Amino acid sequence: MSDHTTVPPGGGSASPSYGIETSQSSSFELPPDVVEYRDLARRIVREEMLPLEQEFLASTGHAYGLKEVLSLKAVFSQAVVDRLVKISRDTGFWYLLVPESHGGSGLSMLARVAVMEEFMYTAVPFPFANVPNILYHCKGEQADKYLTPVIEGHKTTSFAQTEPNAGSDPGGMMQTRAVRDGSDWVLNGTKMWISMAAESDFLLVQAVTDSTKRQRGGITMFLVDRDNPGLKVEQPGIRTWLGPRAAQYIVHFDDCRVSDAAVLGEVGKGFTLGQTWLTIHDRLMRGPYALGKMQRALDMCVDYAKQRVTFGKPISERQAVQWKLVDMYVDIQALRALVYENAARADRGQDVRNEAAMVKLCASDWGTRTLDHAIQIHGAMGESLELPLTLFYRYVRNTQIGGGTSEIQRHLIARKLLS
Q: Give tens-digit pLDDT for 57-89.
A: 999 999 998 999 999 999 999 999 999 999 999
Count of domains observed in the chain: 3
Q: How far apart are CA 341 and CA 347, in angstroms?
A: 10
Q: The CATH number of the domain where 63 resides is what? A: 1.10.540.10
Res 23 pLDDT > 80: no
Domain finish residue from 98, 133, 168: 133
Same domain, 296 and 403: yes
Is residue 288 located within the same domain as residue 322? yes
Is 62 part of a structural domain of the chain? yes
286: domain range? 274-418
In whole angstroms, what is the distance from residue 125 CA to residue 119 CA? Answer: 7
CA-CA distances (angstroms) from residue 147 to 2, 55, 102, 108, 229?
A: 18, 33, 9, 21, 22
Q: 212, 233, 264 — which closes off a domain?
A: 264
Question: Residue 386 CB: number of other CB atoms within 10 A?
Answer: 11
Region 255-277: mean pLDDT is 91
The CATH number linked to 209 is 2.40.110.10
Statement: the pTM of the whole predicted model exceeds 0.85: yes
For residue 384, is pLDDT > 90? yes
Verify that 255 and 325 share a domain, yes or no: no
The answer as to whether 4 is a domain residue is: no
What average pLDDT does the structure give for the chain?
A: 91
| Whole-number pLDDT of residue 10 | 36
Same-domain pairing of 337 and 397: yes
Kindly state whether residues 203 and 337 are assigned to the same domain: no
- On whether residue 291 sits in a domain, the answer given is yes
pLDDT digits (tens, 9 = 90+) for 196-217: 999 999 999 999 999 999 989 9
Tell me, yes or no, whether 190 and 304 share the same domain.
no
Verify that 120 and 196 share a domain, yes or no.
no
Taking residue 188's Cβ as centre, other Cβ atoms within 10 Å add up to: 16
Residues 130-147: what's their mean pLDDT? 93
**Residue 29 confidence (pLDDT):** 80
Residue 18 has pLDDT above 60, yes or no: no
Judge whether 17 lies within some domain. Answer: no
Residues 288 and 405 in one domain: yes
In this structure, is residue 168 part of a structural domain?
yes
**CB burial readout 16-35, b (16+ within 10 A) else e:** eebbbeebbeeeeebeeebb
What is the average per-residue pLDDT within 368-383? 98
11 within some domain? no
pLDDT of residue 21: 41
Residue 155 has pLDDT above 70, yes or no: yes
The residue from 117, 133, 149 where one domain ends is: 133
CATH number at residue 346: 1.20.140.10
Q: 3-class SS at 261?
A: helix
How far is 260 from 263, CA to CA, in rounded Å? Answer: 6
Question: What is the b/e burial string over 231-259, where b = at least 16 CB atoms within 10 angstroms of the residue's CB?
Answer: bebeeebeeeebbebbbbbbbbbeebebe
Task: Sort strands 184-195 and 177-181 into parallel, antiparallel or unpaired.
Answer: antiparallel
Are 213 and 90 in a shared domain? no
Residue 76 lies in a domain: yes
pLDDT the model gives residue 28: 63
42 and 122 within one domain: yes
Are 256 and 323 members of one domain?
Answer: no
Say whether both 86 and 183 belong to one domain: no
Strand partners, 223: 204
Residue 102 within any structural domain of the chain: yes
